A and B are shown apart, each in its own frame.
Chain A
């Protein structure tokens, strides 16, 4: 019996969505151009009422999903390109994240917002953001950032089943990455648990979202230099796995944080702050961030490509700590 199947990150997301729509009739999907994907079988054979191809009204349908979630459904809102989440930010922040709390627990808001982060593809500054750090500042949300096909399936399913609003930030760079993915329809990955992707005793590379392949390539290069790098893939940004972060710092005493988001108040900044507050005595060297500089993402390949963390820049940062 086949228990896994080799598939892409993108296929794994689709599989997660089909499985959850088949499993639970409260799951609906709302987004733009959805009818086209539905015709291609993207959501399986479900009642057409559950597939809502919406007008271009991100603010409106992101808010409607909150009301639907409060009254018995489990909507998936497909925001497509991550920059569009800014149009939906008000209902996500002011309503979805707040209403369990503000109503004294009278309601839950089980809604999933999917956003795909595009970069390195000459789409310029309105299609190339990694907006998750802004939402890490919003109490009441959960945030996951799958970096492998298996995690894409397991974390999206966990998000859909979760009783809180969950933002799923997917990485377009990873869409075509393939691996064996569990076919078990009950396979879910718990939100809030990081994963050690390779062990090492000399330096920790803490990887945020789509930086994982670069972090692993950097670790490989470092191993060839005789440096043991441990790669910690955070997988969730809210809640953050404090224990896993401090564990790896305790093991190596040297930390590089790799994150595609901009430098200021990025995910890496919060992780560095946690280490500074609670892991300072464990450090042998200052924490290094390998992140995207604080400039809008330019169109020209020649301008865009050098901005992002790369295996080389991550490995070089690690070497500077040895």
Chain B
């Protein structure tokens, strides 16, 4: 894709994530959403930067903060929004919800609400690609909290031993729920943990799309070329609370810190400024901004208009074919 087209696509995807998350927050306020929602606002450059380095048929796994990942990889918004509203037309037919927006059509193999759960899955998908002899790679998104799970360490080690085509991508937003990484990480530089398992580890500014994209592309090239895994740590920041609407009684981060990121380190504002520098016109940007808004509005309408699943459907899809389930 020519540079100009990539830029337009990147800007659109980042905006789609931003508007999608804002729409979800509004729906929560309206009382339309049940369950917990975790917003990706602030982390758009890290997500889209990683996804743009992948092919559609490359695999991806993610986390409970799941909305941004499929959007970043190019998913249609309607079924994602319908899933959050628990509708029959949802991408997971109302069985997953906000924490599990899994869209297989863009290569997603699951968004895990078990912290670190997606890491082994993506490593297994990389093993699968290696055994089947395809040139697909696999990328797993996880947070800074997940690097303290055993699955992270076991997966890095096995991926290194077997030279699996996997990219371990840490969205390090500095806080595992409401606990700062400084209180939980014996080695706070996540990328340095790679050294212990014999693979390259890189830290990158997660608010800078270009930096994330070029770093991930390099890792993807290595993986596709049979040279094995890479650990990427993208330093990023979440603008919202851990969970939308969560009231935290007591400060775990300062208001000033949050404000500083919102005003100075907003990945979309930073990218917009770069696009203007690269010669995009304001009119072009406004057009993309309007397009993103319209797509999200259409997704909200679709989700609201969609039917709820029939209660009997809860008994479908437990196994490949129905087995007797007693009630």
Interface on A for B, CB 8 Å cutoff? 26, 28, 49-50, 52, 54-55, 57, 59-73, 75, 90-91, 94-95, 99-108, 139-140, 142, 162-164, 192, 239, 242, 274
B197 CB, min distance to chain A CBs, angstroms: 11
In the complex, residue of chain B having the shortest beta-carbon distance to the beta carbon of A28: B131
Q: Does B68 contact A (CB under 8 A)?
A: no
Complex: A65 Cα to B125 Cα, angstroms: 8
Q: Does B61 contact A (CB under 8 A)?
A: yes
Interface residues as binary, B143-154 with A (CB distance below 8 Å gives 1, 0 otherwise)? 000000011011
Judge whether B157 and A64 touch: CB under 8 Å.
Answer: no
Pick the most buried of A52, A68, A71, A91: most chain B CB atoms within 10 A of its CB: A71
Residues of B195-230 at the interface with A, using a CB-CB cut-off of 8 Å, are none
Judge whether B93 and A105 touch: CB under 8 Å.
Answer: yes
In the complex, residue of chain A having the shortest beta-carbon distance to the beta carbon of B119: A63
The size of the chain B interface, using a CB distance under 8 A, is 50
Residues of A within 8 A of B155 (CB): 60, 63-64
Complex: A168 Cα to B322 Cα, angstroms: 20
Judge whether B132 and A72 touch: CB under 8 Å.
Answer: yes
Interface residues as binary, B274-302 with A (CB distance below 8 Å gives 1, 0 otherwise)? 00000000000000000000000000000
Beyond A59-B154, A69-B124, A242-B326: 9 further Cβ-contacts under 8 Å? A57-B157, A61-B158, A67-B59, A67-B127, A70-B124, A94-B117, A103-B95, A104-B93, A107-B104
Interface on B for A, CB 8 Å cutoff? 59, 61, 90-96, 100, 102-104, 109-110, 112, 114, 117, 119-132, 138, 150-151, 153-155, 157-158, 161-162, 316-320, 323-324, 326
Residues of B within 8 A of A162 (CB): 320
Judge whether B323 and A61 touch: CB under 8 Å.
Answer: no
Judge whether A104 and B317 touch: CB under 8 Å.
Answer: yes
Residues of A within 8 A of B131 (CB): 28, 49-50, 68, 73
Complex: A54 Cα to B154 Cα, angstroms: 10
Complex: A99 Cα to B254 Cα, angstroms: 38
Residues of B within 8 A of A140 (CB): 318-319
Residues of B within 8 A of A66 (CB): 120-121, 124
Complex: A142 Cα to B104 Cα, angstroms: 24
Complex: A32 Cα to B320 Cα, angstroms: 29
Judge whether A73 and B128 touch: CB under 8 Å.
Answer: yes
Judge whether A142 and B157 touch: CB under 8 Å.
Answer: no
Residues of A within 8 A of B162 (CB): 52
Residues of A within 8 A of B109 (CB): 67, 70-71, 107
Complex: A102 Cα to B316 Cα, angstroms: 11
What are 30 A-B contacts with C-beta separation under 8 Å? A52-B127, A55-B154, A57-B157, A59-B120, A59-B154, A60-B150, A60-B151, A60-B153, A61-B120, A63-B117, A63-B155, A64-B120, A67-B126, A68-B131, A71-B125, A72-B132, A91-B117, A91-B151, A94-B112, A95-B110, A102-B110, A104-B92, A104-B93, A104-B94, A104-B317, A107-B109, A107-B110, A140-B319, A242-B324, A242-B326
Pick the most buried of B124, B155, B316: most chain A CB atoms within 10 A of its CB: B124
A299 CB, min distance to chain B CBs, angstroms: 28
Judge whether B91 and A59 touch: CB under 8 Å.
Answer: no
Judge whether A54 and B158 touch: CB under 8 Å.
Answer: yes
Residues of B within 8 A of A105 (CB): 93, 316-317
Residues of A within 8 A of B117 (CB): 63, 90-91, 94-95
Judge whether B96 and A95 touch: CB under 8 Å.
Answer: no
B122 CB, min distance to chain A CBs, angstroms: 6
Say which residue of A62, A65, A99, A239 sits within 8 Å of B110 (CB atoms).
Answer: A99
Complex: A71 Cα to B60 Cα, angstroms: 11
- Contact status of A55 and B158, CB under 8 A, knowing A90-B114, A242-B324: yes
Complex: A242 Cα to B327 Cα, angstroms: 13
Residues of A within 8 A of B318 (CB): 100-101, 139-140
Which 4 pairs of residues, A with B, have the shortest CB-CB distance?
A67-B124, A60-B154, A63-B120, A104-B93
Judge whether A68 and B125 touch: CB under 8 Å.
Answer: yes
Complex: A142 Cα to B321 Cα, angstroms: 12
Residues of A within 8 A of B96 (CB): 102-104
Say which residue of A61, A65, A69 sits within 8 Å of B154 (CB atoms).
Answer: A61
In the complex, residue of chain A having the shortest beta-carbon distance to the beta carbon of B105: A106
A315 CB, min distance to chain B CBs, angstroms: 31
Pick the most buried of B61, B110, B126, B138: most chain A CB atoms within 10 A of its CB: B110
Judge whether B157 and A104 touch: CB under 8 Å.
Answer: no
In the complex, residue of chain B having the shortest beta-carbon distance to the beta carbon of A65: B124
Judge whether B121 and A63 touch: CB under 8 Å.
Answer: yes
- Contact status of A55 and B157, CB under 8 A, knowing A67-B125, A100-B319, A104-B96: yes
B115 CB, min distance to chain A CBs, angstroms: 11
Residues of A within 8 A of B317 (CB): 100-101, 104-105
Complex: A274 Cα to B157 Cα, angstroms: 46
Residues of B within 8 A of A274 (CB): 326
Residues of A within 8 A of B320 (CB): 100, 108, 162-164
Residues of A within 8 A of B157 (CB): 55, 57, 60
Judge whether A57 and B130 touch: CB under 8 Å.
Answer: no
Say which residue of B93, B154, B323 sits within 8 Å of A192 (CB atoms).
Answer: B323
In the complex, residue of chain B having the shortest beta-carbon distance to the beta carbon of A242: B324
Say which residue of B90, B100, B126, B324 sits within 8 Å of A239 (CB atoms).
Answer: B324
B27 CB, min distance to chain A CBs, angstroms: 20
Complex: A239 Cα to B321 Cα, angstroms: 12
Residues of A within 8 A of B316 (CB): 105
Residues of A within 8 A of B61 (CB): 67
Complex: A144 Cα to B292 Cα, angstroms: 51
Residues of B within 8 A of A163 (CB): 320
Judge whether A59 and B124 touch: CB under 8 Å.
Answer: no
Residues of B within 8 A of A64 (CB): 120-121, 123-124, 127, 155, 158
Say which residue of A57, A68, A102, A108 sits within 8 Å of B124 (CB atoms).
Answer: A68
Residues of B within 8 A of A94 (CB): 112, 114, 117
Judge whether A67 and B95 touch: CB under 8 Å.
Answer: no
In the complex, residue of chain B having the shortest beta-carbon distance to the beta carbon of A30: B127
